[in-house]
Chains A and B, each alone.
Chain A
Amino acid sequence: MANLTSSFLGIKSPNPFWLASAPPTDKQYNVERAFKAGWGGVVWKTLGAEGPPIVNVQGPRYGAIHSNDRRLLGLNNIELITDRPLEINLNEIKEVKKKWPDRAMVVSLMVPCEEQCWIDILKRVEETEADGIELNFGCPHGMSERGMGSAVGQVPDYVEMVARWCKQNTRMPVIVKLTPNISDIRQPARAALKGGADAVSLINTISSIVGVDLDEMSPEPHTDGKGTSGGYCGPAVKPIALNMVAQLARDPEMKNLPISGIGGVTVWKDAAEFMALGAGNVQVCTAAMAYGFNIVQEMTTGLSNWMDSKGYTSVDQIIGKAVPNVTDWQYLNLNYVVKARIDQDSCIKCGRCHIVCEDTSHQAITNIVDGKRHFEVIDEECVGCNLCVSVCPVQDCITMEHISSGVDPRTKKEISKDYGNWTTHPNNPSKIPDAAE
């Protein structure tokens, strides 16, 4: 059995699955249920400064994208940070940490951009014996209108400034949670590192309008006929999150900056992918909000079984394993030729591969052969684009075959065994000259 124990910034947890700062981690009741179910840790829902509690809308807070059988594909929310009194949250955090010492307890924070505000709250959090703090520079709705959340995360100078205040005023490890609502994720991450942050976590939710109510002519969800932009999360955002995690993991400046991966983690495989791209652990919210806390049992057993099957004994062995294989387009091997292959035994003859190739790509798949419905790749036309694989409803029916030698029937050129990329390609006006020239 693989060892799933995780140590993130020295914060130990029995597995790398934490619940992200969100509604599931707003109360002792929920968090204890999560720990009972087996979650490795939580990031407590964001606390704000002392004072009158936050007020939420009393209309709907969530909007959703569904599949036709109502699977939740994407969720959007306009809930603000915790709306419970600070004192109650702190007491509960302290009690939970005491009762569950082996679980990670990180507290998310969001207070105005004044140093004293941060000093005040840090002191209070330290008293709870929590393992660390996460700075919420990510929420794209509501709080951002008040100069907090993503309003901070979108300005690298502020990120650096607040991270520095925190590092100077607490012994606790500081994680900066990044907003994806920015054009280059590396900028705020570098700023966090400059400010002394111990780690970053990403992504927070993406600014979104989840739909429009065409009867009311109002964004969904709406309160009294009006809607606002909310934060989008769930399976739909995973590709965006993976890319941003990889961008940081590849950045030489942030080589040693730990990353907590967030964004659409739904099953064990999602977690393994985040970790392979450099995340030290993962945080989950939407999947739990869709199915409840017990999903962690699938996640831990799935990850463990996969690790066993691959011979990995600890999670550290996975972290960053795929990073060296993330590269820029210009370094992809242009001499690597693939052709689609359709397994006729598993083909159900739906014809989707044909029509998408015919209508929208390269006219490289037949529909009729010898007067019969038959789908076969025309090597002379196939550019190996993978669209047919993407649309085929049958697992492994269409695969991409590497052609390593001979003449490519499409280009009529001999296939080179050598690696050759765009930087040296003859068609590249700014190609790097050969050493011989």
Chain B
Amino acid sequence: MLNDIKKQRLSKKEYDENFDEIHPPLNEHEAYVEGDRCYYCYDAPCIEACPTGINIPLFIRQITSKNPEGAAKTIFDENILGGMSARVCPTETLCEEACVRNTGEDRPVKIGLLQRYATDSLMNSINHPYKRSEDNGKKVAIVGGGPAGLSCAHRLSMKGYSVTIFDSKSKLGGLNEYGIAAYKSLDNFAERETKFVLSLGGIDYKLNTTIGKDLSIDQLKKDFDAVFLGMGLTGVNSLLVDGEDDNGIDDAVRYIEDIRQAKDLGELPVGRKVIVIGGGMTAIDMAVQIKKLGSEDVTIVYRRGKKEMSASLVEQQNAQNNGVLIKHWSKPVRLITNDNSVCGVEFEYTSVKDGKLVGTGEKYKIDSDMVFRAIGQTFEDDADGLPPLGSGRISVDENYKTSISGIWAGGDCVNEGEDLTVTAVEAGKKAAESIHMELS
């Protein structure tokens, strides 16, 4: 029996509807009403909860006093990718979780949407809000043009450095461009945001350039006064079960890339029955998107429970609201294949014994036309001259300095990366400050 994998499962109208904005932006009136709910707390818990430390009460007050550009500037001062952060931050576990309105009425101020209102209003205007300092004659190389790299580049250029970004892909933006669910970043937002960052000036970039292959770290060290590594995670964990090389099994990150870059969503092959294995945001984004692409049955299978999933409860609910079934406490033991095509997965129930996850011995099967791995990504350490690693990623100190003089690193490729856009932005920003401290 052949796997039921087809293109054009839905009409154009259905694709458009399914991939419309998940959280539509606030209009002006909604922004005033929502902004009015902010209490302007003292030493506000939301600021503390924001990885980039945005002065949230201030920017909300600027919105309600009809100064949205001022509000945007308050955001960009701390997070130049505040626009994307507003779209993809798991605010329910960050700023909005800390909002004191939760205590009073169980309904936080919609900080994410207000941030989007503010940043959109400035990004729609013509002028870049910042000016570069005079060129200081120093050069910094940045490896990886994702959130960490862009943030670092912007901050350094503001201070007068000449920055060159090297990226292995054909577009800048990193996961903002190639990852992230499509319905969170409409209208080429990632690309527009990258342009916005670059419009400061002083930032050059070289695409399709992979570190360790097309250029060496040693060369960068020679040519530049400092190097920032922000290449993210390029490897993918495997299930470690037989049949992983067969047809019908793929990496979620790769497929999501295809969705993000698709000119026509109907051209993507979609299985009738899909299994996604994993418990993070990639698993959720994969499952929800393929459901929206017309798959009939989509099941996320995770080896532990609901609370252990790294995707927030809100995201889990989002998946369930979209008709995705989430099965917990199950691990894959075998891929069921037919003519080198995966047509199902056998799972074993799991439980925790003596602090360890173990199989219970009880097994069950789920049929599938497509199986996606979303069980985490890994740092590929094949480039020569990389700084020492810890727990599989680059080790850095609190200033994002590696143990090699002149090399800084941040974002998902370092050992404390939380795999969030917003933490990567913070890392890039902090590293830039540290580079500046050292070079000036």
Contacts of A373 in B (CB 8 A): 43, 45
Contacts of B64 in A (CB 8 A): 68
Task: Tell me if A351 counts as interface (CB < 8 A to partner B).
Answer: yes
Task: Tell me if A394 counts as interface (CB < 8 A to partner B).
Answer: yes
Contacts of A348 in B (CB 8 A): 100-101, 103-104
User: A351's contact among B35, B36, B43, B101, by CB below 8 Å, is which?
Assistant: B43
A357-369, CB under 8 A of B: which get 1 and which 0? 0000000000100
Nearest-neighbour CB distance to chain B for A369, whole angstroms, equals: 14
Tell me whether chain A's interface is mostly helix, strand or loop, or mixed: loop
Task: Tell me if A311 counts as interface (CB < 8 A to partner B).
Answer: no
B43 touches A352 (CB 8 A): no
A67 touches B36 (CB 8 A): yes
Task: Tell me if A53 counts as interface (CB < 8 A to partner B).
Answer: no
Task: Tell me if B40 counts as interface (CB < 8 A to partner A).
Answer: yes
Nearest-neighbour CB distance to chain A for B202, whole angstroms, equals: 36
User: B42's contact among A355, A393, A394, by CB below 8 Å, is which?
Assistant: A355
Q: With A68-B33, A68-B64, A69-B33 given, is the CB distance from A394 to B43 under 8 Å?
A: no
A350 to B44, CA, bound (A): 7
A367 touches B43 (CB 8 A): yes
CB-CB contacts below 8 Å: B23-68 with A: 29, 32-33, 35-36, 39-45, 64
A66 to B274, CA, bound (A): 53
Q: With A373-B45, A393-B104 given, is the CB distance from A352 to B36 under 8 Å?
A: no
B100 touches A349 (CB 8 A): yes
A79 to B32, CA, bound (A): 30
Task: Tell me if A97 counts as interface (CB < 8 A to partner B).
Answer: no
Contacts of A394 in B (CB 8 A): 104
Contacts of A367 in B (CB 8 A): 42-43
B32 touches A350 (CB 8 A): no
User: B39's contact among A67, A69, A352, by CB below 8 Å, is which?
Assistant: A352
Contacts of B41 in A (CB 8 A): 349-352
A68 to B41, CA, bound (A): 18
Contacts of A177 in B (CB 8 A): none
Q: Determine the residue in chain A with the shortest Cβ distance to B57.
A: A350
A319 to B24, CA, bound (A): 53
Task: Tell me if A354 counts as interface (CB < 8 A to partner B).
Answer: yes
User: B32's contact among A69, A352, A354, by CB below 8 Å, is which?
Assistant: A69
B323-343, CB under 8 A of A: which get 1 and which 0? 000000000000000000000
Q: Determine the residue in chain B with the shortest Cβ distance to A395.
A: B104
CB-CB contacts below 8 Å: B1-31 with A: 29
**Residue of A67, A68, A351, A393 most packed against chain B (CB within 10 A):** A68
Q: With A348-B100, A349-B103, A393-B104 given, is the CB distance from A68 to B32 under 8 Å?
A: yes
Q: With A350-B100, A373-B45 given, is the CB distance from A393 to B39 under 8 Å?
A: yes
A68 touches B42 (CB 8 A): no
Nearest-neighbour CB distance to chain B for A389, whole angstroms, equals: 15
CB-CB contacts below 8 Å: A41-69 with B: 67-69
Nearest-neighbour CB distance to chain B for A348, whole angstroms, equals: 4
Nearest-neighbour CB distance to chain A for B100, whole angstroms, equals: 4
Contacts of B33 in A (CB 8 A): 68-69
Contacts of A349 in B (CB 8 A): 41, 45, 100, 103
B40 touches A352 (CB 8 A): yes
B98-142, CB under 8 A of A: which get 1 and which 0? 001101100000000000000000000000000000000000000
Contacts of A68 in B (CB 8 A): 32-33, 35-36, 64
A373 to B41, CA, bound (A): 12
A351 to B45, CA, bound (A): 10
Contacts of A393 in B (CB 8 A): 39, 104
Contacts of B43 in A (CB 8 A): 351, 355, 367, 373
A351 touches B32 (CB 8 A): no
Q: Can you pick out 12 interface pairs between chain A and chain B where the beta carbons lie within 8 Å of each other? A: A67-B36, A70-B29, A70-B32, A349-B41, A349-B45, A350-B42, A351-B41, A351-B44, A354-B42, A367-B43, A393-B39, A393-B104
Binding site for A on B (CB under 8 A): 29, 32-33, 35-36, 39-45, 64, 100-101, 103-104
Q: Which 6 A-B pairs have the closest CB atoms?
A: A351-B42, A68-B36, A355-B42, A348-B103, A348-B100, A350-B41
Binding site for B on A (CB under 8 A): 67-70, 348-352, 354-355, 367, 373, 393-394
